[in-house]
Amino acid sequence: MNFSHPERALREFEVRNLLLGLALVIGTALAAREPRAVGSVLAGVVLSLVLFQYLKRDGRWIAGQALAGVPYGKILRSFLLKYYLRLLAVGLLLGLAFRTGILHPVFLVLGLSVVVLQGFLLAGEALLGRILPIGSRR
C-alpha cells in the first residue's frame, strides 16, 4: 500500500476491509453453518465498517476545526460528546441484541475485528516488503 497519497491509501484500506469482511462472513457460513453465527459476524463487519467511517469523518472534522482556529478545549468537548453518545447507542443496541439472543458475542467480535485484522495484514505486508523487496511496488 502506497502511503504517499493518503486518500487513495485510505480508500484502498476500506476496500480491503470490505473484502476481508466478506471473506469472514463466507468463511463463517461454510464453517459454522449456523444462521445466528453468520448474522453475528455480518453484524460485526457492518458495525466495524460504519464505525470506521465515523472515525474518518471525525478525524477530518477535528483537523478542519483545528485549522480554522477553534480552541482545543471546544474541539475536544464536542468530539468526546459525540463519541460517547455514539458509544452509548452502540452499547445499548448490542446489549439488547445479546439479551434477546439475536447475536452471538464470539462471532460478533470476529466480525468487529475486521479493521484490526486488516491493520495486522497491512503491517505484515509492509514488513515483508522491506525484508523481501522482490516484486514490491516502490
> What pLDDT, on the 0 to 100 scale, is given for residue 133?
67
Residue 109 located in a structural domain: yes
Residue 136 located in a structural domain: no
Residue 137 located in a structural domain: no
Residue 62 located in a structural domain: yes
Distance CA 53, CA 78 (A): 18
**How does DSSP classify residue 99?**
H
**Mean pLDDT for all residues in the chain:** 90
Number of domains in the chain: 1
Q: What residue numbers bound the domain in which 28 lies?
A: 6-128
Contact between 65 and 75 under an 8 Å Cβ cutoff? The reply is: yes
Q: How far from 69 is each of 63, 74, 76, 79, 80, CA to CA, in Å? A: 10, 11, 13, 16, 18
Residue 22 located in a structural domain: yes
Model pTM? Answer: 0.82
